[in-house]
Chain A
Amino acid sequence: MTTIDLADQPPAGTTTEAIGSAPPRRRNAVAAAKDYLKAAPAFVWALALIILPNFVLLLNSLWKNDFGTVTKSFTLENYIELFQSEVYRTLFWRTLLTALTASLIATVIAYIAAVVVVRYFGRYKLMVAILVVVPLLISYLMRIFAWKIILGEHGILVGALGDAVPKNILYSQWSVILTLTYVAIPYVFLSVFVALERIPPHIAEAAGDCGASPWKTFWTVLWPLSRGGAAVGFAIAFVLTFGDYVTPAMVGGLSGTMLGSIVLQEFGIANNWPMGSAVGVVVILSGLVVLGVISLFARTEARFD
């Protein structure tokens, strides 16, 4: 038993180095099959909880809905309605614009914050970074709801700044963008921070030694090496904000409705699951398209190792 197990394990120490690369030596088909068998639980999990559900969601979006009863005959009706309806089209563009704006602002803010943390906080940078990420782990609902208290007509912002701020920020597209930016910042920060952390400090030092100004060092050395992290952070932010329904429901009002709100409605009051699934599929596809575009951008990332 034990000896066989040892035989099909790689020699000590190689596992850690061989991650992501080809196996260090050619192994016979039996050993490979055994490893697949041992890995089966993970594959089953991925299949059952991720691939199958998304597939069934796609199926659902192709089913017909007649006043609350779903017939399992395939139709493109839901999608046709989606693309033809003025309401859905407006909502789609509004959601896209909102998510893109929020993610972009969040990326800029988080990037600068990450640069400041990595540049000036030395050995405490990890601690400061954790402080940025902590709000992410504290109740989502509570943080969104608090924005309602802050932005409201008699909210803290108006109370503190008086007439300097417009009183109708809440329940507009702006309150949604602001809140989504707020939600997205820690995600982008995390991604950028990891990318900046990975850059060995001597690379920037070398640029400085060769006479580059700090500004030039940043644009020619640090930015090319970290923009991949910024791109990934942006993509995560976009995907998350594009599919959000809690924020529009809390601070959006009517003019802040997004695609997520529609999904909520179709699965809830409207009880039209096929339509809801179709919107869900649109959300997933939009996320994938943005991820694809971003990965093209991230691929041009310079390498330092």
Chain B
Amino acid sequence: MTSAPVLQPSPPIAIPQRRRRRVPPGLILGLVFLFTVFAFLYAPLVTTALFSLNSSNVQTWPMAGLTSRWYHDLFADQAMLQALFFSLRVALTAVMVSAVAGLAFALITQRLQFRGKKWLDAALAIPLVAPGMVLGISLLVVFNLAGMSNGFWTIVIGHAAFITPLVMFIMQQRLKTMDPSLDHASMDLGAGRIRTFWHVTLPGVRVALLAACLLGFVLSMDEIAVSFFLAGTQSTLPVYVWGLLRFGFTPEVNAVFTLIGIISLLFISGAAVMLFATARRREKQVVAGDRS
């Protein structure tokens, strides 16, 4: 894959010309490889979408026929809908908590000076890279010790624990490119700290914050490993589906996953577009700043 020329060497003139005409074999090999990887990565997503339309309720290939029955059933399934709404409530609450905490922590680590910042960053990031099981059982034993029984808030806390570092990192990247002297100017002009935050700092990070929230929301809606240990009598959608998958499968599962997958894709593309847009505007600002 890497055997293609990294750059056309300049010395003799005849050779680079001949090279330019030939398609580098590395390119073809590389593209084939990448295509295979993409096929591998997207196969499960396509499979689920495909089988959500399968008219047989046995999950075997070839499919029996096409039907939209599972989607109809889905919207009549009270237990499933209840779990879905519970998941939505959890995700919204967790994202709100994480938005505030993540932005605050990003400001703390970017704008203040103190020792141990690296350790703080690393500690806060642990839930994002540790297996969900570890976060789940460690929070479970703490809640148990504190006498809290599992329910809405335990799941919210569990989700906020890993969404907050995500928001924090996106905010940190954004804040790094923002000039703190804007805040100082605002305060010089007599605005208090709250007004400065509201009128100067927040508008600067607004779009990136929204993007981070969208990603956090998607993560929360799909989370299983942590929620499994922290869910009480009412389970979130993935936990409910987990139960279905093991005892009493229904193809509605494929339908609900397909719908959530589509919504997730929309949210992710929305977030990606927003982050791109702010990044581009930032570049323009930097260029303009260099010229002046």
Q: B-contacting residues of A (Cβ < 8 Å)?
A: 1-2, 5-6, 9-10, 12-13, 15-16, 18-20, 23, 27, 32, 35-36, 38-39, 41-43, 45-46, 49-54, 56-57, 59-60, 109, 112-113, 115-117, 119-120, 128, 130-132, 134-135, 137-150, 152, 154-156, 158-160, 182, 185-186, 204-205, 207-209, 211, 214-215, 217-218, 222, 236, 239-240, 242-246, 249-250, 260, 263-264, 267, 273, 276-277, 280, 283-284, 287
Contacts and interface: CB of A to CB of B under 8 A. Distances in A.
7 contacts: A12-B180, A36-B114, A135-B42, A137-B215, A141-B241, A142-B257, A263-B137
Interface size class of B (residues with CB under 8 A): 35 or more
Contacts of B234: none
- 8 smallest CB-CB distances across A and B, nearest first, come from A243-B131, A12-B181, A146-B44, A159-B61, A53-B138, A154-B60, A116-B30, A142-B257
B224 interface: yes
A124 to B, nearest CB: 12
Given A49-B157, A53-B139, A152-B60, A214 B44 contact: no
Contacts of A135: 41-42, 44-45
A190 to B, nearest CB: 11
Of residues B40, B131, B157, B188, which shows the largest number of chain A Cβ atoms within 10 Å of its Cβ?
B131
Nearest to A189: B37
A130 B135 CA distance: 27
Contacts of B222: 137-142
Contacts of B193: 1-2, 5
B145 A56 contact: yes
Interface of B: 1-7, 9-10, 26-27, 30-31, 33-34, 37-38, 40-45, 47-48, 51, 59-62, 101, 104-105, 108-114, 117-118, 120, 123-124, 126-127, 129-135, 137-142, 144-145, 157, 161, 164, 176-177, 179-181, 184, 187-188, 190, 192-193, 215, 218-219, 221-225, 228-229, 238, 241-242, 245-246, 253, 257, 260-261, 264-265, 268, 272
A228 B224 CA distance: 31
B291 to A, nearest CB: 18
Given A53-B139, A145-B48, A215 B3 contact: yes
Given A35-B114, A260-B131, 20 more contacts: A1-B193, A5-B193, A9-B184, A15-B111, A38-B108, A50-B161, A57-B141, A135-B45, A139-B238, A143-B44, A149-B47, A207-B6, A208-B9, A214-B2, A214-B3, A214-B5, A222-B2, A239-B130, A244-B133, A263-B133
Given A35-B114, A38-B108, A116-B30, A12 B179 contact: yes
Contacts of A54: 134, 138
Nearest to B61: A159
Given A51-B123, A56-B141, A263-B133, A132 B41 contact: yes
B179 A209 contact: no
B133 A245 contact: yes
Contacts of A138: 45, 222, 261, 264-265
Consensus secondary structure, chain B interface: helix
Nearest to A143: B44
Contacts of A20: 117-118
Contacts of B132: 243
Nearest to A181: B40
B224 A239 contact: no
Contacts of B224: 140-141, 246
A145 B253 contact: yes
B198 to A, nearest CB: 15
A136 to B, nearest CB: 9
B260 A139 contact: yes
Given A6-B188, A42-B120, A49-B161, A112 B60 contact: no
Contacts of A218: 2, 6
Contacts of A204: 6-7
B260 A42 contact: no
A112 B1 contact: yes
A38 B112 CA distance: 8
B134 to A, nearest CB: 6
B123 A50 contact: yes
Contact of B137 (A1, A142, A215, A277): A277
A158 B62 CA distance: 10
A239 B164 contact: no
A104 to B, nearest CB: 16
A132 B113 contact: no
A128 B119 CA distance: 33
B42 A116 contact: no
Contact of A137 (B41, B123, B219, B228): B219
Nearest to A116: B30
Contacts of A39: 108-109, 112, 114, 120
